[in-house]
């Protein structure tokens, strides 16, 4: 039997968080659901790049589904699996808020993949020499919604994993997110007003192009993609903070509640700004 090693000097919370986040990121990257999602993303994107048009930014739905929606299940299962040893984990110096923060940071793994995907599609759009009636800024904003959704889905999984104990909760959350997103497409069927934009854009993920009939020309919905991205980022912050509140205690918990309140105000503000932009549709 070997001699006992020197016990670690008490690490700063930052050092523990970094080490733990790296461990969680490795677990995320090895998750079969995530890996299957990446393969599906590559296949779906490769087959779509052949016939790109001005609505190319709406390809963001692919990472939103393959990484974001699938990520709800991954985030949930990673969170539940490390809760299983229960009291042994709770008796360790790294407390619940820190463990949740590490899991939230691991959700940047699908985000990084989605970012690489966005660069790939942007380069393909640039190379396709399209008329780009809607401008590069808007196209980039639309692509960015897919990147944020790829982080947001897993964060919702972590949130649900922290607050519920029932094993199918991740699946239920994925269904709820899908339902919310689909319900908001009703905004695209309404007249082009700011209220219509609000119905369209309060979703956790939104597509931007539609048409008035099978043979009608496609159009791009009104509203600001970049303020919408800011709204999505605020929703991600809300999910991560709400997950951390669960096991935080004392002053830390109070602080997190304050952060939640601030983020809620920021989310509403960003959504309002996204909807305040010109609601007129742009025909492509």
Q: Residues in the site for another protein, rule: CB under 8 A?
A: 1-2, 4-8, 10-11, 15-16, 18-20, 23, 27, 30-31, 77, 81-95, 99, 249-252
Q: Closest CB to another protein among 20 and 173?
A: 20
Least gap, CB of 67 to another protein (angstroms): 19
Least gap, CB of 52 to another protein (angstroms): 38
Q: Closest CB to another protein among 98 and 198?
A: 98
Under a CB-based contact definition with an 8 Å cutoff, are residues 24 and 158 in contact?
A: no
Phi and psi at residue 255, to the nearest 5°: -60, -45
Least gap, CB of 259 to another protein (angstroms): 17
Q: Closest CB to another protein among 51 and 87?
A: 87
Q: Closest CB to another protein among 170 and 204?
A: 170
Q: Tokens representing 58? A: 């709406």
Q: Closest CB to another protein among 28 and 205?
A: 28
Under a CB-based contact definition with an 8 Å cutoff, are residues 145 and 64 in contact?
A: yes
Under a CB-based contact definition with an 8 Å cutoff, are residues 82 and 56 in contact?
A: no
Q: Tokens representing 280? A: 């007129």
Least gap, CB of 83 to another protein (angstroms): 8
- CA R_g for the chain: 21
Least gap, CB of 164 to another protein (angstroms): 16
Phi and psi at residue 84, to the nearest 5°: -60, -40
| DSSP three-state, residue 17 | helix
* Spatial separation of the C-alpha atoms in residues 245 and 239, rounded to whole Å: 10
Question: Which 8-state DSSP code applies to residue 218?
Answer: E
């Amino acid at each position: 039997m070997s001699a006992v090693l020197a016990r670690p000097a008490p690490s700063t919370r930052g050092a523990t968080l970094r080490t733990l986040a790296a461990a969680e990121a490795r677990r995320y990257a090895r998750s079969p659901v995530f890996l299957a999602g990446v393969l599906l993303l590559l296949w779906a994107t490769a087959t779509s790049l052949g016939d790109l048009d001005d609505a190319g930014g709406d390809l963001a739905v692919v990472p939103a589904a393959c990484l974001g929606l699938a990520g709800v299940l991954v985030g949930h299962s990673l969170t539940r699996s490390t809760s299983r040893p229960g009291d042994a984990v709770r008796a360790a110096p790294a407390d619940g808020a820190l463990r949740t923060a590490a899991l939230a940071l691991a959700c940047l793994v699908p985000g990084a993949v989605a970012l690489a995907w966005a660069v790939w599609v942007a380069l393909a759009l640039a190379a396709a020499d399209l008329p780009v009636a809607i401008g590069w800024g808007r196209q980039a904003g639309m692509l960015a919604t897919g990147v944020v959704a790829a982080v947001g889905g897993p964060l919702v999984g972590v949130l649900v994993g922290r607050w519920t104990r029932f094993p199918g909760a991740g699946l239920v959350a994925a269904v709820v997110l899908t339902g919310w997103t689909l319900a908001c497409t009703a905004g695209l069927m309404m007249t082009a007003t700011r209220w219509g934009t609000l119905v369209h854009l309060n979703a956790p993920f939104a597509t931007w192009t539609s048409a008035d009939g099978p043979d009608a020309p496609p159009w791009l919905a009104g509203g600001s993609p970049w303020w919408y991205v800011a709204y999505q980022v605020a929703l991600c912050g809300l999910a991560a903070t709400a997950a951390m509140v669960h096991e935080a205690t004392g002053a830390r918990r109070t602080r997190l509640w304050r952060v939640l309140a601030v983020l809620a105000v920021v989310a509403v503000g960003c959504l309002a700004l996204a909807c305040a932009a010109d609601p007129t549709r742009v025909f492509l």
